[in-house]
Amino acid sequence: MTYLGERNGHSGKDVEYHLGFGTPALLPVIEEIKGGGRPDLRILNLETQTVQMSQCRIMGVSEEWIERVEREDPERHQLFMVRKVDAGNTGGLQEGDVVLTLNDKLITRVSHMDVMYTHDTLRAVVVRKQQEVELDIPTVPTSELETDRVVVFCGAVLHRPHHAVRQQISKVHSDIYVSARMGGSPAYMYGLAPTNFILAVNAVPTPDIESFLREVNKVPDNTYFRLKVMTFDNVPWVATMKKNEHYFPTVEFIKDGSVREGWRRVTYEDGKVRKGEGECLPNAADEGGATGADEGMEG
């Protein structure tokens, strides 16, 4: 796997990274697929980084644990510290925790964390604020991290914040996240940008897609309305927009395995479901690419 990284400040050239993925990590999944099963993996909703033994001592890891690491893994004298916990993930590990064991297994390598894939909860021993703590931490099914419902409203593509968003933000303001917008649409013209969160419609709170659809369907066509919005960097503002159902109808896409394409399409007109195909023009969507800076992107 090759990807383009940052630009070197001295040479002015872009840095290329060439990475590989260890096949042993894939084997359990491949074997399950070969056996006719469908993997339903679970993960810990967090990011970690390695810490060396000298730093572990400062953070409160006892000499007994350090000696155990040196004894059980002579090649890797390291542990893992929680660097970032996904937004909305509560009741488990916290940022700054040093992970000692998961289900009684000493964690000194990334592959040791594979135990999380098949357990709803894990028994963990961590060092938190210089104290050794035992706790049960829940895992998250990866199936819940996928986007299974999308709404296109006034040219803005809305859905529940996906996994990458939750990894980067400290607080999820609502379950209505703007991931893209179409050029020339009301969303584009009135400044509703990708990475914004919608909190309310005409002063009525809309924490999720269901409540959002209910409120926007009350707004007549060619009528102004207000959206309470929060940017990715926590700046609130209010957008006044004019609804245009003729060119930019409200369309909902719902993941449905019973449909041949895998997604079921619902079009709304005058606040009611309309049978037939609506116009969506997904290829015209602005996803915050090279022109994002000129289009008032936030975040």
Four-way CATH pick for 146-295: 3.40.50.2300, 1.20.200.10, 1.10.1740.10, 2.30.42.10: 2.30.42.10
pLDDT digits (tens, 9 = 90+) for 58-87: 999 999 999 999 999 988 899 999 998 888
Question: In 3D, which of 218, 211, 226, 222 has the Cα closest to residue 272?
Answer: 218
List, by residue range, all CATH 2.30.42.10 domains of the chain: 41-141, 146-295
44 contacts 32 by C-beta, under 8 angstroms:
no
Q: How far is CA 216 from the centre of its chain?
A: 25
Q: Which of 5-9, 131-135, 270-274 ranks highest by mean pLDDT? A: 131-135
Q: For tokens 């690491």, what's the residue?
A: 69
CATH code of 41-141, in short, is: 2.30.42.10
Q: What is the pLDDT of residues 242-291, one digit of tens each?
A: 999 999 999 999 998 888 888 999 998 887 887 654 444 444 455 554 33
Q: Tell whether the torsion through CA atoms of 163, 169, 175 and 180 is positive or negative.
A: negative
Alpha helices in 239-296 (DSSP H): none
Q: Is 295 exposed, middle or buried (0-12, 13-18, 19+ CB in 10 A)?
A: middle
Residue 212: enclosing H or E segment and its boundaries? helix 209-216
Cα–Cα distances in Å, from 297 out to 72, 187, 200, 233?
50, 12, 20, 11
Tell me the average pLDDT of the chain.
86
